[in-house]
A = this chain, B = another copy of it.
Amino acid sequence: MSLKHAILVMLDQKPHSGYDLLQQFKESVGYFWNAKHQQIYRQLKILHDEELIAFQSEIQSGKPDKKIYAITQQGKDELLRWLKEPVATNKINDALLVKIYGADSAPIEDIASEIERHIEIHQNTLNYLLALEKKYLSLSSNEQLNFRYPYLTLRRGILGEEAWLRWAEEATQLFKK
């Protein structure tokens, strides 16, 4: 759907290789977009065929060659078109909540330990995001201005994870009884 546009947004900021994009999806922007490397490379090929992006091969000593992709004017046009268009709200499909909804049908300990496991993951994510926030807050106010929109998405991540963990407290309360 809009992996295409997620990539265009990234490339509009600065050129990236497929591997770079993968790292971004795994690290900084992973809170709001995720994709596997196979999907990224395939999409890059499609975007290149559509002439929305272009690349230059970068020969690296040691490591394999990198293809550095940059957005073209046509790509910028397409991005602008998409940015102006309304997007649908997020479709939520949360398997953990499916499990909890059906918790009557399973041993309670299994569900409880599953929640424990997820709490740990979410706590780690939150810590990571808070560290990113700290880094942002230590920037000069001029630099902060440059990153205000990415920072806003980071805030979404932080508020989202905090809310998740508050919910998890309610959940563990229920499963303790």
Of the candidates B93, B106, B159, which one forms a contact with A167 in the assembled complex, judged by CB atoms under 8 Å apart?
B159
CB pair A34–B107 under 8 Å, yes or no, is no
> Nearest B residue to A121 by beta-carbon distance?
B89
Of the candidates B86, B92, B156, B164, which one forms a contact with A97 in the assembled complex, judged by CB atoms under 8 Å apart?
B156
CB pair A9–B98 under 8 Å, yes or no, is yes
A84–B112 Cα distance when bound, in Å, is: 11
> Knowing A5-B98, A33-B98, A79-B105 touch, does A167 contact B156 (C-beta < 8 A)?
yes
Query: Beta-carbon contacts of A129-145 to B below 8 Å, as 1s and 0s?
Result: 00000000000000000
Per DSSP, are chain A's interface residues mostly helix, strand or loop, or mixed? helix
Which residues on B sit within 8 Å (CB–CB) of A9? 98-99, 101-102, 105
CB pair A94–B152 under 8 Å, yes or no, is no
Of the candidates B83, B94, B118, which one forms a contact with A105 in the assembled complex, judged by CB atoms under 8 Å apart?
B83
Which residues on B sit within 8 Å (CB–CB) of A33? 92-94, 97-98
CB pair B160–A34 under 8 Å, yes or no, is no
Interface residues on A, range: 35 or more
A32–B95 Cα distance when bound, in Å, is: 8
CB pair B153–A101 under 8 Å, yes or no, is yes
> Knowing A9-B105, A105-B76 touch, does A149 contact B100 (C-beta < 8 A)?
yes
CB distance from A13 to the nearest CB of B (A): 8
> Nearest B residue to A114 by beta-carbon distance?
B86
Say yes or no: is A46 at the interface (Cβ < 8 Å to chain B).
Answer: no
